Structure 1
Amino acid sequence: MTRDIKKALGMFVITVILGGIVYYFALPSFSFESVGFWIYLIILLSLFEVSLVIASVTKANKNEHKAGVVAKAGGIAIALFVLTFIISSFASGRLFNPSDYANLIKEDIKEADFSTYQGTLNNVPLLDKGSAVQISNRKLGSLVDVVSQFELGENEQITLNGKSVRISPLYYGSFFKWNNNKNEGTPGYIKIDMMTQEAELVRLEKGIKYSPSEFFGRDLKRYLRMKYPFALFSSFNFEADEDGAPFWIVPVEKHTIGLFGGVDVDYVLVVDAVTGDIKKYSVGELPEWVDNVYNSDLITSQYDDYGSLQNGYWNSVFGQKGVKVTTEGYNYIPQGNDNWIYTGVTSVGRDESNIGFILSNKRTKETIYFPVSGAEEYSSMSSAEGVVQHLGYEATFPLLLNVEGQPTYIMALKDAGGLVKMYGMVNVEKYQIVATGETIQVTQQKYRELLKNNRMTVTETETEHISGVIEHIKTAAIDGTTYYYIKLVADDAYYVLSVKDNQLIVLKEVGDGIALDADKKSTGKIRNALLAE
């Protein structure tokens, strides 16, 4: 074996070792559909090229001609590799494949009339992610035995037993804290009820031992990469099943257009966060408790392609005939046991109005388009903030609901500390109709009165007859109107009545009998009601 061959082999071994170190930390997929894999190969080729050139110009053998040949040959090889990568990237893009991109979500979309829309005030999550994170951090800070060792992981919204909650797994605070607790794992996760804003630490019988905060073989991405070297992991979503057991939901991508384009979900890995057990599912076979398979940005991106590329790429850039896109921002609505993403749809160039909105199931990608014209979300947020500008409250990104038979934006109004202080309802078609209140029930009553005053159609309220003996009476003056909160004996709910619509309520005292017509749609601790005739 010649001396040059020995040097080349030596440099190859060094390159392989360096490549192994880079791979251990970067963990790229061994798939040519992975951009990371191409970058990884280019780095390895460059390292090998540099090492060969250095080996060819040693003090013992300074052969500039040989070094030049090696550098030239290696440079050409790397250039060809980079050129192939660039050409493949362009060939996978929207410019050359507009119809393919437009069809990515086409088969999943159906159109429906707003009268069939099921989004109502029941179980609506009005707490946004920012507020949920703040409440979770406060809860963590109150747990003396936990706060010194752990911190919050990524916050995810899920539907658990029909209720909207946000959950955050506990992560190790540092390598040393991991070393102190690795045998037990992290103790559980923080769960927040999106309606009541109550937070709790769900302590597990056995700790979480597989997560992004682990090190070495239990690091979630490294653990999965060793078992699925060719998979394209898109995200690592923390969820809990109906019994509260923790899992990681890991969608695996496929590219349907060229090497790098047309991203979609191929299959899903469900990882037990405690034991590390892995189950592989197709999208259609997933358990119903799984919520977050399709990333929200992936859904909105596919819908944008559907709305903008129907008439070709250049029309989406210049003429823009028939081009429609989603608005900037989205929120989530529970429907049954699934988590749906909501966002508005606007035509390009009319940035202050919507032509409709979509709901998309994050587990199945089923998408429903509702053609509803009116103000876009940020205009409605400004309208609500304008009513309470003296308080400095900020509106969360709204949800579009069916309130009193009208398409209505509803949002929470937060103080500087991120706590929900009030609620707002804004009519989509006439966004100057704005109602705010300290409770959902009060806000709805004021909104109903505004609709009537503006001669707009209001759905007749379905009621149930309630009678009993008054146990407590509380009053509150809101925007010049007095509201009575009545609690009956052996009934946990408070029934809220405005003195404007129920003048005789001022004559009632504790111990009196009373008959009420309570709104069937308002359930829970506070219910809208009227005095029964």
Structure 2
Amino acid sequence: MTGILLAGVSSFILYAVLSIILIFNKKKAKTLTAKFALFIFIVLFIIASIVNYIFLVPITLPNMIIANLVMAVIGILLLYGMSHTPGTKKRSGPFEATLGLLIILAVLAIPTIFVTGIFTLDNSYESISQKEVEEAKPLSKEDTPITVSPEFARNKTQKSMSVIPNTQFYDLGKLQVQKVGDDVVFVGPVEFTGFWKWFRGKETEGYFTISATNVNAQPEFVESKMKYTNSSYFNKNVERVIYGAYPTYIQSGEAQIEVDKDGKPWYVQTLYQPIGLTNKPDLQDLKVAVVNPVNGDVKLYDTDNAPPFIDGSVSSEMASDVNEYFGKYVHGWLNSIFGKKDVKIPNESGTESSVTPIFNENGDMYYFTDMSSPKENIDSALGYTLINARTGTLTYYNGKKNSGIMDSTGAKEIVNKEFPEKNWEGSMPVLYNIDGNPTWVVNVLDPNGLFKKYAYIKASDSDFVVFGDTARETLEAYRLQLLQDPSNVSSSGETPLQKRSGEINRVLVTTQKNAQVVQFLLKGDKTIYTLTAGKAPLALFLQEGDKVQLEANIRDNGTGIVEKISIEGLTE
């Protein structure tokens, strides 16, 4: 309520000043004019307060300038109409001068705010904490580069809503992925379905959790009463609570649930203050409001200093905005319209506001988005961004080492075309570096949002696709397929060559893309060695019992790419 009153008062400063000037310049009926001015002020203040209460207009310079101009024009016109004596031919000079001044101010102020906002885009771009690298680290053999898609998690959780008392009062709120303990889970609050359900229920029953990495996991309901929620009304609404405490901040997106180590839920909301005479964000000064849903207490933190249990103090909506500024305004607004040098357009294949949350090996959450060219009919990715969900730092992987890879839209289309008769579609494409190969990992869902398969797609080859039922199974099958692809059978140079020797235990020769590939095992060694016949033609005649000496790039996934080999009795 404090914020609403403050916004109301701030909207009437210009009207108050001008009405006082008019009263003192009015030679006759000063007292009557003052009463009219006060009456108009009260009426408009009540109307403006209602508008602010409904729309929660942040107290920023452009918002208050426009509000003051609007209220001043309406107020002065009403004051003129009420204080002007009927039948008088001579018009009141001060009123005409004041209206003229307001028109001039409006003509100057509105374009100024618009133009300032355009030039401030450079400031917002410069405020992004960013770095650029050429290639992401490859996955280790322990990594499983996938999480359950939110569509599947939501579908599964909604089927469990019957466990809630008075189920008819509630619906499932916004799902938020986070790490609880050692598990990555989706957390979804129970929200009211409407005003009368809130009026009768007063508080929600709790929240659901469901694994974000195991498609076979079942949702669990956690009882935890909440009075202050996104779906509550009046002063119990989380957005109003935050606005009342911090009316000079702009809220980014919808408040989301995060759970602490004791299982207690909290609503978190990203906030920012604008730059100068605009509503454009200063991305180096992001804040997060944390609301206690039981008593409505709210605290403000820098996003990177938020309580440790909060993974996403930077909202997905804010991350999407950061991508927009980073990609489009690298050389300013004019370049984003004409020329478009170095401009990159974020794809909209993400699961939350065009971005996809993922976790790295340290358990830190990032938002993933791939970037494509602004030129039409170009479906190759220029690179991708990862935005730290606590600090807001953007890392851009420019893809220079892997030019010509398809974008996320292309990856989804490959999946969509694979199962046309079943109407299965690709969801949540994320680009990973698997053994040095950019790879799209995609969830395959049926029309009801139920999970069916995983798809691993080589980003530089649309025909190289591996499907599987589990993430681990599909990853290993994809890695095996990579080994059998002659274009991949070469040392990456990332690790030094290792010398090995031994006796051949098993050997397999296959033909892949008009080239022959030899794979073999050594006795007492579980490494799968692979080489192309072009490097050592006599390797085609390998058989069990042959003794060999070789140099290979041994990868951490249990495979080795052979660069040199000598075969006793054949090459010696």
TM-score range, shorter chain: 0.7 to 0.9
* Structure 1, gaps ≥5 residues long: 461-518, 523-533
What is the alpha-carbon distance in structure 2 between the residues aligned to residue 286 and residue 344 of structure 1? 28
Q: 1:360 to 1:52 in 2, by over 3 A?
A: same
* Residue correspondence of structure 1 range 290-439 to structure 2 within 5 A: 290-330=310-350, 331-335=356-360, 336-349=362-375, 351-370=378-397, 371=399, 372-373=402-403, 374-439=405-470
TM-superposed CA distance for 1:266, in Å, is: 3.4
* Residue correspondence of structure 1 range 87-98 to structure 2 within 5 A: 87-93=112-118, 96-97=119-120
* Residue correspondence of structure 1 range 17-28 to structure 2 within 5 A: 17-28=46-57
- 1:232 partnered with 2:257: no
Does 208-217 or 347-356 show the bigger shift? 347-356
Which one of the candidate residues 134, 155, 159 is aligned to 1:138?
A: 159
Q: What secondary structure does 2:123 align onto?
A: helix
In structure 2, what is the equivalent of residue 6 of structure 1? Answer: 35
Q: Is the 8 A contact 2:443 2:453 kept in 1?
A: yes
TM-score normalised per structure 2? 0.71
- 1:186 partnered with 2:204: yes
In structure 2, what is the equivalent of residue 211 of structure 1? Answer: 229
TM-superposed CA distance for 1:143, in Å, is: 2.6
What is the alpha-carbon distance in structure 2 between the residues aligned to residue 402 and residue 103 of structure 1? 29
TM-superposed CA distance for 1:65, in Å, is: 5.4
* Residue correspondence of structure 1 range 101-120 to structure 2 within 5 A: 101-105=124-128, 107-111=129-133, 113-114=135-136, 116-118=137-139
TM-superposed CA distance for 1:55, in Å, is: 2.1
Q: Which amino acid aligns with 1:249?
A: V
* Residue correspondence of structure 1 range 54-93 to structure 2 within 5 A: 54-56=81-83, 61=86, 66=91, 70=95, 73-74=98-99, 76-77=101-102, 80-81=105-106, 83-93=108-118
Q: 1:276 to 1:64 in 2, by over 3 A?
A: farther
Q: What secondary structure does 1:375 align onto?
A: coil
TM-superposed CA distance for 1:426, in Å, is: 0.2
In structure 1, what is the equivalent of residue 78 of structure 2? Answer: 51
TM-superposed CA distance for 1:52, in Å, is: 2.4
What is the alpha-carbon distance in structure 1 between the residues aligned to residue 89 and residue 363 of structure 2? 70
TM-superposed CA distance for 1:414, in Å, is: 0.7
In structure 2, what is the equivalent of residue 286 of structure 1? Answer: 306
What is the alpha-carbon distance in structure 1 between the residues aligned to residue 308 and residue 109 of structure 2? 42
Q: Which amino acid aligns with 2:446?
A: D
TM-superposed CA distance for 1:112, in Å, is: 5.1
Residues 168-218 of structure 1: CA distance to partner in whole angstroms, max 9, x if unpaired?
212223333223222xx211112221223445353335x111122222222
Q: 1:312 to 1:386 in 2, by over 3 A?
A: same
Residues 283-310 of structure 1: CA distance to partner in whole angstroms, max 9, x if unpaired?
3322232122333343344344444444
Which one of the candidate residues 277, 291, 306 is aligned to 1:271?
A: 291
Q: Which amino acid aligns with 1:353?
A: S
In structure 1, what is the equivalent of residue 262 of structure 2? Answer: 243
TM-superposed CA distance for 1:160, in Å, is: 2.4
What is the alpha-carbon distance in structure 2 between the residues aligned to residue 118 and residue 63 of structure 1? 85
Q: Is the 8 A contact 1:120 1:402 kept in 2?
A: no
Q: What secondary structure does 2:466 align onto?
A: strand
Q: What secondary structure does 2:197 align onto?
A: helix
What is the alpha-carbon distance in structure 1 between the residues aligned to residue 121 and residue 313 of structure 2? 25
Q: Is the 8 A contact 1:448 1:458 kept in 2?
A: no
What is the alpha-carbon distance in structure 2 between the residues aligned to residue 231 and residue 326 of structure 1? 26
What is the alpha-carbon distance in structure 2 between the residues aligned to residue 135 and residue 172 of structure 1? 19
What is the alpha-carbon distance in structure 2 between the residues aligned to residue 437 and residue 64 of structure 1? 87
- 1:158 partnered with 2:178: yes
Does 239-248 or 451-460 show the bigger shift? 451-460
In structure 1, what is the equivalent of residue 475 of structure 2? Answer: 444
What is the alpha-carbon distance in structure 1 between the residues aligned to residue 45 and residue 213 of structure 2? 54
What is the alpha-carbon distance in structure 1 between the residues aligned to residue 112 and residue 252 of structure 2? 24
Residues 219-267 of structure 1: CA distance to partner in whole angstroms, max 9, x if unpaired?
2222222222323222322211233211111222122354333442432
What is the alpha-carbon distance in structure 1 between the residues aligned to residue 449 and residue 124 of structure 2? 39
* Structure 2, gaps ≥5 residues long: 1-29, 351-355, 492-554, 559-572
Residues 411-437 of structure 1: CA distance to partner in whole angstroms, max 9, x if unpaired?
111111110111111001222101112
What is the alpha-carbon distance in structure 2 between the residues aligned to residue 361 and residue 123 of structure 1? 20
Q: What secondary structure does 2:235 align onto?
A: helix
What is the alpha-carbon distance in structure 2 between the residues aligned to residue 245 and residue 200 of structure 1? 17
Q: What secondary structure does 1:401 align onto?
A: strand
Q: Is the 8 A contact 2:250 2:271 kept in 1?
A: yes
Q: What secondary structure does 1:113 align onto?
A: coil
Q: Is the 8 A contact 1:56 1:67 kept in 2?
A: no
CA RMSD of aligned residues (A): 3.2
In structure 2, what is the equivalent of residue 254 of structure 1? Answer: 273
Residues 139-191 of structure 1: CA distance to partner in whole angstroms, max 9, x if unpaired?
22x23624211122222222322433222212223333223222xx2111122
In structure 1, what is the equivalent of residue 522 of structure 2? Answer: none
Q: Is the 8 A contact 1:119 1:402 kept in 2?
A: no
Q: 1:65 to 1:230 in 2, by over 3 A?
A: farther
Residues 365-420 of structure 1: CA distance to partner in whole angstroms, max 9, x if unpaired?
22223224311111122222223233221000311123344221111111111101
Does 279-288 or 391-400 show the bigger shift? 279-288
Q: What secondary structure does 1:256 align onto?
A: coil
Q: What secondary structure does 1:233 align onto?
A: strand
TM-superposed CA distance for 1:521, in Å, is: 7.5
Say how many residue pairs are matched.
452
What is the alpha-carbon distance in structure 2 between the residues aligned to residue 219 and residue 180 of structure 1? 15
Q: Is the 8 A contact 1:104 1:306 kept in 2?
A: no
TM-superposed CA distance for 1:126, in Å, is: 3.6
Q: What secondary structure does 2:219 align onto?
A: strand
What is the alpha-carbon distance in structure 2 between the residues aligned to residue 153 and residue 249 of structure 1? 14
- Identity over aligned residues, as a percent? 22
TM-score normalised per structure 1? 0.75
What is the alpha-carbon distance in structure 2 between the residues aligned to residue 24 and residue 306 of structure 1? 34
